[in-house]
Amino acid sequence: MTGPSSAARAWPFDTVLIANRGEIALRILRTVRALGLDAVVVHHAADADSPAVRAAPRAIEITGASPVAAYLDGAQIVDVAQRTGAGAIHPGYGFLSENAAFAAAVAAAGRVFVGPTPEAIELMGDKVRARAFAARHGFPVAPSAIEDDDPQSFVDRARALGFPLLIKPAAGGGGKGMRIVRAAPALADEIVRARSEGQRYFGDGRLYVERYVERPRHIEVQVLGDAHGHVVHLFERECSVQRRFQKIVEEAPSAALDAAQRRKICDIAVGIAAAARYRNAGTIEFIFGADELYFLEMNTRLQVEHPVTEMVTGIDLVAEQLRIAAGEPLGYDQPDIRIDGHAIELRIYAESPARGFAPTTGRVLALRLAEGPGVRVDCGFAPGQRVTAAFDPMLAKLVVHGRDRDAARALADDALGRLVLLGCETNTAFLRRLVAHPGFASGAIHTGFLDDHPELAAEPPLSESVQTKLLAAAALATRPVRDAADAVPPLYAAIGAWRN
């Protein structure tokens, strides 16, 4: 299913510029090198000591008013591609990955954008246009009101949908700007706040409001489309365990779907992608309730959680992206793709769950990644590297694969227990509590699961004995106490080097 060998393939480009950072830059780099292609990694000075930069055959520093600004500077990145002879640019996820103008600029410079066409990004990357497109083609979307249709009547049209409602920015993602409104008096003020956040985070204050499905499951389908009109799905992932609308745990397949439901949701996803004449890797996201299934949005890029799909299908999605970008047809048909076992991905964040999942910082003092059969860790940090507030707090992704969900969950717990990262607080202990929770174990999850179980984020109380030991260890680690313990009393110091 992976097509002809790279040695026999005539690539239209021999060098790929990786326009990203952290674990995804390193993950893309490994596949690029495995395919026999050369690579260039761009990086801000803040990432100079990162594993991706260390492993890159060529690493070029880019600059900006802030580290994030450097990775968002499309003109600078295209210039690096031209100077280094990179014939293709892979944007990873985030940053410029869903920027239609950047995709067009790459093509205008005679380079290959490893992703969909600018037209597909403009159509499906904009939530409002994508929803309208899906509805126009007969696919299920939640009842909604779109501000662009008539700004003056937006509030009245939203109120007419009934409550609860979910306000969402037309652009962007990651949960920013989203708000649940349960009563009419709060609607107008929450619209103002959501518009302000959308403008601040995405430079686009446009909004839409949809009927909010209580206790829904978030299920998405991975699709691949080539330039020859072929579209397939690689089955679904469930991403229902979230905090502040941001995913923490993803798994494949979903425990919520039976065979008929799986077939239905995957067929809808392929239908949407085919109608959009979509090319490359993309994800169709859905809200799934007891009696409801609605198209949510499309992510026109590689997803953070793509490894779980790779684990259960055996297909390297980055390799497929590169082959599709090179103009090759898909090397397989839908019946060739099978699910093998169950995979779970847990995002390792530099954050404090007990303090509202607040980001944490520090220098990585020690790092030991879990290894073994069925365990994969995609990590973008190395010992000595600083974790700062300049970027998203995700440090690594722990991905496990077992014969079934219970086996994968047990493996996840074991791997979390063996993973060591010292230097800043992480969410690993929280994740162990999560995977051991009876509700998670039974698969009874939904997007409000963590809100229903706040005890998972709280640090368990320490016994008096453990507290005493920790305080003693901390005291002995301080310089004054260590100096006093190591000091030689004057009487004995006067003896000099004499020994009895």
Domain match, 260 and 387 both: yes
Domain match, 417 and 278 both: yes
Give the residue from 211, 229, 251 where a domain finishes: 211
Q: Residue 61: which CATH number?
A: 3.40.50.20
Which pLDDT score, from 0 to 100, does residue 481 have? 76
Which pLDDT score, from 0 to 100, does residue 474 have? 81
Domain match, 107 and 151 both: no
With respect to residue 9, please indicate whether it lies within any of the assigned structural domains.
no
Domain match, 288 and 348 both: yes
Structure tokens at 443: 């698969």
Residue 130: partners with Cβ closer than 8 Å, 6 or more residues away? 123, 124, 295, 297, 298
Domain match, 156 and 273 both: no
Structure tokens at 281: 């890797």
Which pLDDT score, from 0 to 100, does residue 206 have? 83
Give the residue from 419, 437, 456 where a domain finishes: 456
- Do residues 192 and 198 touch, judged by C-beta distance below 8 A? no
Domain match, 227 and 189 both: no
Which pLDDT score, from 0 to 100, does residue 4 have? 47
pLDDT, tens digit, for every residue of 228-286?
A: 999 999 999 999 999 988 999 999 999 999 999 999 999 999 999 999 999 999 999 99
Strand partners, 112: 88
Domain match, 189 and 229 both: no
Give the residue from 187, 211, 235 where a domain finishes: 211
Q: Which helix (H) or strand (E) holds 69?
A: helix 67-71
pLDDT, tens digit, for every residue of 79-133?
A: 999 999 999 999 999 999 999 999 999 999 999 999 999 999 999 988 889 989 9
Number of domains in the chain: 3
Q: Strand locations in 29-164, DSSP E?
A: 38-43, 58-61, 88-90, 112-113, 144-146
Domain match, 406 and 339 both: yes
Whole-model pTM: value is 0.88
Q: Which helix (H) or strand (E) holds 486?
A: helix 479-486
Domain match, 304 and 439 both: yes
Which residues in the chain land under pLDDT 70?
Answer: 1-9, 172-175, 498-500
Q: Residue 186: which CATH number?
A: 3.30.1490.20
Which pLDDT score, from 0 to 100, does residue 491 have? 73
Q: Residue 366: which CATH number?
A: 3.30.470.20
In terms of residue numbers, what domain contains 47?
15-114
Domain match, 190 and 291 both: no
Cis peptide before 335 (omega within 30 of 0): no
Kindly tell me the sign of the dihedral angle through the C-alpha atoms of 417, 418, 419, 424: positive
